[in-house]
């Protein structure tokens, strides 16, 4: 409320950075670090606002930045992570060493979005054929009510409509039915916080005990599970992936702790 814009002061430079500015910024951060971005430009002799300095450092000057084209593996990783996490670019970047959220965001909008959309279309087509050809194709009752959250960009991610609290916009018990680029569909459920309520709402939620990890029947009737992991982890979620005609199953676990999350295939 009434907060002054960070570059309100006249005389602060905007636009592309010059090599000299880069040099000054690097030299200052190497010597003093960046305990206070706001104060940094003055101390470094730069006519920039702190925000601009921070962005330049994080997106371009950091020594561990990896430049150059994205590898196929990186692209696939981004597509898969975006499928699970939505537009949480910083979370995606955290899993791609040397890549920045800005870079990933750019590459998504320029390349991968189209790629993912094309594959999605292809998969939907294949899926339709599959459904038509196999009346007895088993559909979990939850699955039939799930919606394809890629039907529009804003709905592509669980939290796309959320402005902040990651994962929290997904209503309890909601299942997101994702179709991605490897002839699979997966159902990922994201829940944060009130796990009790969620468990209650999920009819077939199994007991997480020793047998849970070996019980193959779970893939038959429970395509999506979630629970509170405890021990500092806020949650985990499992999605099952159905290759081809539903014959081959495997699972991913999405473990989330605070703003960090990790996908573990098993």
Can residue 116 be called a binding residue for DNA (CB under 7 A)?
Answer: no
Nearer to DNA, 165 or 220 (CB): 165
User: From the list 107, 155, 199, 233, which residue makes contact with DNA (rule: CB under 7 A)?
Assistant: 107
Can residue 164 be called a binding residue for DNA (CB under 7 A)?
Answer: yes
Backbone angles phi, psi at 130, to 5 degrees: -60, -45
Nearer to DNA, 46 or 225 (CB): 46
- Using CB under 7 A, which residues numbered 122 to 161 contact DNA? 160
Region class of 231: left (phi > 0), else alpha (psi between -120 and 50), else beta: left
Q: How far is the CB of 195 from DNA (least distance, A)?
A: 19
- The CA distance from 76 to 64, in Å, is 22
Can residue 113 be called a binding residue for DNA (CB under 7 A)?
Answer: no
- Using CB under 7 A, which residues numbered 10 to 69 contact DNA? 13-17, 34-39, 48, 50-52, 54-56, 59-60
> Rg for the chain (alpha carbons), in Å?
22
Contact mark string toward DNA, 73..102, x via CB under 7 A: --------------xxxxx---------xx
Interior CA angle at 215 toward 211 and 219, to 5°?
145
User: Are the C-beta atoms of 256 and 219 separated by less than 8 Å?
Assistant: no
User: Are the C-beta atoms of 51 and 6 separated by less than 8 Å?
Assistant: yes
Can residue 105 be called a binding residue for DNA (CB under 7 A)?
Answer: yes
Nearer to DNA, 222 or 234 (CB): 234
User: Are the C-beta atoms of 61 and 19 separated by less than 8 Å?
Assistant: no
Region class of 173: left (phi > 0), else alpha (psi between -120 and 50), else beta: left
16 token code pair: 């592309």
Nearer to DNA, 43 or 126 (CB): 43
* Contact residues for DNA, defined by CB under 7 A: 1-5, 7, 13-17, 34-39, 48, 50-52, 54-56, 59-60, 87-91, 101-103, 105-107, 109-111, 160, 163-165, 259
């Amino acid at each position: 409320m009434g907060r002054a814009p960070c570059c309100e002061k006249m005389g602060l430079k905007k636009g592309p950075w010059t090599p000299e500015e880069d040099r000054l910024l690097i030299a200052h951060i190497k010597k003093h670090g960046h305990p206070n971005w706001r104060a940094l430009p003055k101390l470094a002799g730069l006519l920039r606002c702190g925000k601009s300095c921070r962005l330049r450092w994080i997106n371009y000057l950091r020594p561990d930045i990896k430049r150059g084209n994205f590898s196929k593996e990186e692209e696939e990783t981004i597509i898969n992570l975006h499928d699970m996490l939505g537009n949480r670019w910083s979370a995606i970047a955290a899993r791609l060493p040397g890549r920045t959220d800005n870079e990933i965001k750019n590459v998504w909008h320029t390349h991968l979005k189209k790629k993912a959309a094309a594959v999605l279309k292809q998969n939907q087509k294949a899926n339709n054929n599959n459904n038509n050809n196999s009346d007895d194709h088993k559909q979990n009752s939850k699955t039939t009510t799930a919606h394809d959250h890629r039907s529009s960009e804003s709905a592509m991610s669980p939290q796309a409509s959320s402005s902040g609290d990651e994962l929290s916009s997904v209503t309890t018990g909601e299942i997101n039915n994702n179709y991605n680029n490897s002839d699979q569909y997966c159902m990922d459920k994201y829940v944060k916080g009130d796990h009790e309520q969620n468990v209650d709402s999920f009819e077939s939620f199994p007991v997480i005990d020793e047998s849970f990890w070996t019980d193959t029947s779970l893939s038959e009737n429970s395509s999506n599970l979630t629970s509170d992991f405890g021990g500092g982890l806020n949650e985990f979620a499992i999605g099952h992936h159905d290759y081809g005609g539903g014959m081959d199953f495997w699972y991913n676990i999405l473990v989330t702790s605070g703003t960090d999350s990790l996908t573990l295939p098993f």
